[in-house]
Structure 1
C-alpha cells in the first residue's frame, strides 16, 4: 500500500485541456514568427537567378526545387509568405478597428445609428465577397495598398456584429444602468464599462481575421488584381507556376500551395486556441 502511495506521489501530472491549448497557441505563434522572420531575411536570395540551376527537382540543396530562372523556390516561398503575413496583419488591424468602432456605435447611440450601421453591414455582406475584393483593389490601383484596403473593407461586418451583440448584452448589466442614471455620457460609459469587457472577443476576432486576409491576398494576387509581378508574393508564385505544370514541374505549385495552406491553418489554430483560453468555461478543464 505504501509503495502504491509513493508511486502516486511521483506520478507525472497529466496535462489538462487548458495546458494543451496553451501549447498549441505557443506552437502556432512560434512557427508563424519563424516564417515571417526567415522570409524577411531572404532578401536578394528570393530573386537571384542562376542559369546553372534551372528547373531542378527538390533536393537537399534546394528542398522546394528551383524554377525556370534558377531561383530557389524555398526562398521565394518564404519571402512570399512573409509578405502575405505583413499584408494580413495590416488588413486585419484596419478591419478590426473599423469593426470595433462601428460595433460600439451601433449598440450605444440609439436605433437610428444602429439602423445605419446595420444597413452598411448588409450592403457589404450582400455583395459577393470575391467580387467586392476585386472591385476595391482594382479601383485603388492594385498593388499592396489596394490589397490591404480591399481585404480590410470587406472583412469587418461579422466582427462588428459580434461586438454589437456583446455591447447590447453589457448595456443591460446593473452597473451600466447605474452609470446612466448618474448622468455619465455614452462615450464615457463605452470607454470605461464596455470596452474592457468586449476586448477578449475583439482580440479573438482580430486574430481570426488573419487566415482570411492571408488567403484572400493570395487569391487577389493569383487573379492579377493584387501585388505587382516583380514582387515575390505567394499568389504570383502560384500564378506563374500554372504555365509550367503541364511540363511536369509540379514542385513549383505544390510546395508553395502547401506552405500557404499551412500558414492559414496556423493562424486559425492560434485564433481558436486563444478563444479557448479566454473562454471562462474552459478555465477548469
Structure 2
C-alpha cells in the first residue's frame, strides 16, 4: 500500500508520525512527577529494570525521569533560541532587500562575518560573557544561528523586489514598509517556518554541547548536557546506561524535528511533493 503513495502522501505521513512521537516524548516529560529527581541512596547505581527502565544514577535518581525532564528543558531552549534567530533573520533579510544598496552591503558583510566564525566557538564565547545559565545559552544560540536563514530570506526579497506587482505598488506611492508587510511577508512566512524547524536540531545539539563542556546550563538542572557530562566519570565502572539512554533520546528528538522540517520543506514545493 505504501509503495503506491506519491511523495506528498509519504511526506505527510512522515510529518504526522514524527509529530506524534515528539508530542508523546515531551508530553510524558511534562506530566511526569519530579519524585524521580530526588536523591535515594538506597537505589543508586541500579541497572535498567522494569521498575527503573533507564536505571538509576550514583545518587539513586531515576534516569528515565532525568532524561525526559532534560529533553523538555532542551526543547524550551530550542524553541526560544530558534524563534529569536528566525525573527533576527526576517528583520535583517527584509532590511537588506528593501533599504538600499548600503544597508544591503552592511548586512551581507555582517552575515559573512558571523558565518566565518564556527558556531560552537561563538556560542561558547557569548554564553561565557553572559555568565552562562539558561539566559546565556539561549542568547548565544539565537545570536549564532541566524545568518544562513537571513541570507536565504535576503535572496528571496531581492527576487520579489523585481516582481511586476511590487513595481506597480511602488509607482502607486506605497512605502517600503507597506510593500514588505503586504507583499513580501506572505512569501517569507513559509520559509521562516521551515527555517525554524531546521534550526531547532542545531540549537538543541549546540546547547547540549556547550552544557557538556560546563559553559551552559546550571548543573542543578536536569539538562541532557549535564547528564552526559556527569556520566563520563562512571562509564569505566560499567554504568553504560547513564550515557546511552539520554544520548539516544536526544538524537531521536533531534532527528524527529529534522524529519518534520525536511518534509515540510517538500510540502511547500508542489513539484517535488507530487513526484
Under a length normalisation based on structure 2, what TM-score does the superposition of the two structures give?
0.96
Post-superposition shift, 1:185?
0.8
Distance 1:207-1:12 versus aligned 2 partners, 3 A rule:
closer
Q: How does 1:167-206 map to 2 (within 5 A)?
A: 167-206=157-196
Is 1:26 the equivalent of 2:16? yes
Post-superposition shift, 1:13?
10
Structure 2: gaps (5+ residues): none
Aligned length: 275
Is 1:98 the equivalent of 2:88? yes
Secondary structure at the aligned position of 2:32 is classed as helix
Instruction: Tell me, yes or no, if the aligned pair for 2:11 and 2:273 is still in contact at 8 Å.
Output: no
Q: Which residue matches 1:8?
A: none
Q: Which residue matches 1:233?
A: 223
Post-superposition shift, 1:43?
4.0
Q: Which residue matches 1:249?
A: 239
Under a length normalisation based on structure 1, what TM-score does the superposition of the two structures give?
0.93
- Larger deviation: 272-281 or 80-89? 272-281
Q: CA separation in 2, counterparts of 1:212 and 1:283?
A: 25
Residue deviations 1:168-193 (CA, integer Å, cap 9, x gap): 11111110111111111111111111
- Larger deviation: 44-53 or 196-205? 44-53
Distance 1:160-1:52 versus aligned 2 partners, 3 A rule:
same
* Aligned partner (choices 116, 127, 146) of residue 117 of structure 2: 127
Distance 1:231-1:193 versus aligned 2 partners, 3 A rule:
same
Q: Which residue matches 1:150?
A: 140
Q: CA separation in 2, counterparts of 1:284 and 1:140?
A: 48
Secondary structure at the aligned position of 1:99 is classed as helix
Instruction: Tell me, yes or no, if the aligned pair for 2:207 and 2:225 is still in contact at 8 Å.
Output: yes
Q: Which residue matches 1:162?
A: 152
Post-superposition shift, 1:199?
1.5
Post-superposition shift, 1:283?
4.5
Post-superposition shift, 1:42?
2.7
Q: Which residue matches 1:56?
A: 46
Structure 1: gaps (5+ residues): 1-10
Instruction: Tell me, yes or no, if the aligned pair for 2:267 and 2:273 is still in contact at 8 Å.
Output: yes
* Aligned partner (choices 205, 210, 223) of residue 213 of structure 2: 223
- Which structure has the larger Rg over C-alpha atoms? 1
- Larger deviation: 30-39 or 166-175? 30-39
